[in-house]
Amino acid sequence: MNAPDTPGHQPESTKTGRRDMGLRTWLRHLAATQRLAVARPGMPLEFGVAGLANRLDGTRALIVPRPRGGENGTVVSGLLSRREWMAEALGIEPEALLPEFQRAAACPIPSIEVTKAPCQDLVHEDIDLTRLLPIPTHNEHDSGAYITAGLMICRDPRTGVQNVSIHRLQVSGPRELGALLLPRHTLSYFTAAEEAGNDLEVAIVIGASPACMLASQAIVPMDVDELEIAGALGGAPLEVARCLGKDILVPAESEIVIEGRLLANTLRPEGPFGEFPQYYGPRADRHVIEVDCVTTRQSPLFHTIVGGGLEHLILGGIPREATILNTVQAMFPNVRNVHLAPGGTCRYHLYVQMKPRHPGEVKNVILGAFAAHYDIKHVVVVDEDVDIFDAEMVEWAIATRFQADKDLIVISGSQGSKLDPSTDEGFGAKMGIDATAAIDAPPFRFKRISVPGEKEIDIDNVLDVDAKIGDLLRD
Ligand code: MN
């Protein structure tokens, strides 16, 4: 990196007027603010990169130049492992994350096509994926090296609209990837192609901007191009380039583009692989991608997301929160905010902050929240004076405002997450906890104690770092 450090916020491109940061700008910004760790060359691709990334998870992003097993490449990880970082990369305040995401998902901005794209600086047609790219192996029982931060972009054969999603991609051969396609938009596009007797063209984009990464996880109807949501997140159209051999538009500023085809009528073994709930997804016959071409920047950065790490959890969590907040607020406008807590894998534990208006209303909110997404397993509702981003504060509310014989809801035999191993293939129980203060209680009874002026104390100014401790504590 030879560009100057950028301590302040730098827009992606003054030409396009975007306010978010591109991947390299964001990395330089992290470095300039002491949040980017650089590994010595030779860190092993097998377990070494993931181990180091896990140790730094949530505190520093990681860049690994010339790893062992991928000497010509550079790996980056943990770039977006805190929600404040995500907001910072998008050029907004942390409190604005959900409203901004809601706005972007509701009002996408069409991309603009450019003819010259950095992601196509180098073209590789003689392909051996593990020689070409530094692809790590993460967890002990993973079946091998995996591409985990690749945006899979494909086009609906029926409507021509693009879809963007992230799938775990097992490196199965020199030019073959195994893909897990859950029953969502990509699988629907693929099934349509397969029924017509065709493969489905795909592009896998590695090293995309923070806005593209977050937008890819939007829970929006089929035939919404998530790149257009990335455009709206940055406040201006995203620049895209046409693939060399496929009719697919990819973010022009990305690092690596793998062009290939999801093969019709082909399934081969994939897995096991360490997934977001901190368990292995099992080995099974899954879809196969044949790679035709790889294009990259000069000296591309290979982004990897370690399964179950904060980067993985938060990327999925924020768009889900935005969708859940939409759904719940449509019924209960007095719900102020929601949070999918990292301790609940950013999927299973929902904290709801609200101002209850009627006796019993909190239980209705709990039922509404369960309906908003089947992954939600436990809901805790708290008052407006409880910070839902602080798990200890939520626990305090449960400790002091909850009585299990009347404030608890348990629902048996409902649909949950198949990746929760305590369920029977997703069939399991829900629990709701009303940890709000009784609505008719005298206000002083539930008033949290506070020291006037505590928050405003300027610690560095007040504390005497030069004090002589010996003089103060003389016998
Ligand atoms: Mn979609």
Ligand 1 centroid vs 304 CA: distance in angstroms? Answer: 22
Ligand 1 centroid vs 215 CA: distance in angstroms? Answer: 10
Ligand 1 centroid vs 343 CA: distance in angstroms? Answer: 27
Ligand 1 centroid vs 105 CA: distance in angstroms? Answer: 11
Percent of the chain with pLDDT over 70: 97
Ligand 1 centroid vs 160 CA: distance in angstroms? Answer: 13
Strand residues in 127-255 grouped as ranges (E):
146-147, 150-155, 162-166, 169-173, 176-179, 200-206, 239-242, 249-251
Instruction: Give the helix ranges, DSSP H, for 216-278.
Output: 226-234
In this structure, which topology does domain 311-440 adopt according to CATH?
UbiD C-terminal domain-like (3.40.1670)
Contact in structure between 365 and 328 (CB atoms under 8 Å):
yes
Q: Is residue 451 exposed (0-12), middle (13-18) or buried (19+ Cβ within 10 Å)?
A: exposed
Return d(Cα 405, Cα 416) in angstroms, integer: 24
Look at residue 2 and tell me whether its pLDDT is greater than 90. Answer: no
Look at residue 82 and tell me whether its pLDDT is greater than 60. Answer: yes
Ligand 1 centroid vs 222 CA: distance in angstroms? Answer: 5
Ligand 1 centroid vs 301 CA: distance in angstroms? Answer: 26
Look at residue 118 and tell me whether its pLDDT is greater than 80. Answer: yes
Look at residue 9 and tell me whether its pLDDT is greater than 90. Answer: no
Confidence of residue 15 (pLDDT cuts 50, 70, 90): low
Ligand 1 centroid vs 359 CA: distance in angstroms? Answer: 39
Ligand 1 centroid vs 163 CA: distance in angstroms? Answer: 5
User: Helix 361-372 to helix 310-331 angle, to the nearest 10 degrees?
Assistant: 130
CATH assignment of 87-297, among 3.30.565.10, 3.40.50.720, 2.30.30.60, 2.30.110.10: 2.30.110.10
pLDDT value at residue 4: 40
pLDDT value at residue 7: 42
Ligand 1 centroid vs 223 CA: distance in angstroms? Answer: 6
* Rg, the chain, Cα only: 24
For 438-456, what is each residue's pLDDT tens digit?
A: 999 998 999 999 999 999 9
Ligand 1 centroid vs 473 CA: distance in angstroms? Answer: 65
Tokens of 433: 């906890």
Instruction: Give the helix ranges, DSSP H, for 402-464.
Output: 404-407, 459-462
Strand 408-415 to 349-354 pairing: unpaired
Tokens of 71: 């000497």
* Helices and strands counted in the chain (H then E): 14, 23
Ligand 1 centroid vs 251 CA: distance in angstroms? Answer: 16
For 33-59, what is each residue's pLDDT tens digit?
A: 999 999 999 999 999 999 999 999 999
pLDDT value at residue 10: 46
Q: Which residues pair with 173 in a beta bridge?
A: 176
Residue 194 neighbours by CB distance under 10 Å: 19
Return d(Cα 151, Cα 149) in angstroms, integer: 7
Ligand 1 centroid vs 161 CA: distance in angstroms? Answer: 10
pLDDT value at residue 5: 42
Return d(Cα 66, Cα 330) in angstroms, integer: 51
Considering only CA atoms, which of 352, 350, 347 is closest in space to residue 312?
A: 347
| DSSP 8-state symbol, 120 | G
For 400-422, what is each residue's pLDDT tens digit?
A: 999 999 999 999 999 999 999 99
Q: What are the distances in angstroms from CA 104 to CA 90, 99, 136, 326, 389?
A: 12, 9, 33, 13, 23
Q: Which of 61-65, 201-205, 469-473 has the lowest mean pLDDT?
A: 469-473
Ligand 1 centroid vs 148 CA: distance in angstroms? Answer: 18
Give the domain ranges of the chain.
87-297, 311-440
Strand residues in 271-354 grouped as ranges (E):
273-274, 280-281, 284-296, 301-303, 335-340, 349-354
Q: Which residues pair with 428 in a beta bridge?
A: 414
Ligand 1 centroid vs 164 CA: distance in angstroms? Answer: 6
Q: Is residue 14 exposed (0-12), middle (13-18) or buried (19+ Cβ within 10 Å)?
A: exposed
Q: In what order do the strands lie in the sheet with 249-251?
A: 112-113, 239-242, 249-251
Ligand 1 centroid vs 185 CA: distance in angstroms? Answer: 5
Look at residue 469 and tell me whether its pLDDT is greater than 70. Answer: yes
Ligand 1 centroid vs 43 CA: distance in angstroms? Answer: 36
Ligand 1 centroid vs 172 CA: distance in angstroms? Answer: 26
Ligand 1 centroid vs 4 CA: distance in angstroms? Answer: 37
Tokens 């910070």 belong to which residue? 387
Ligand 1 centroid vs 187 CA: distance in angstroms? Answer: 10
Ligand 1 centroid vs 445 CA: distance in angstroms? Answer: 48
Torsional class of 144: left (φ above 0), alpha (ψ -120 to 50), beta (otherwise): left
Look at residue 71 and tell me whether its pLDDT is greater than 60. Answer: yes
Return d(Cα 7, Cα 32) in angstroms, integer: 5
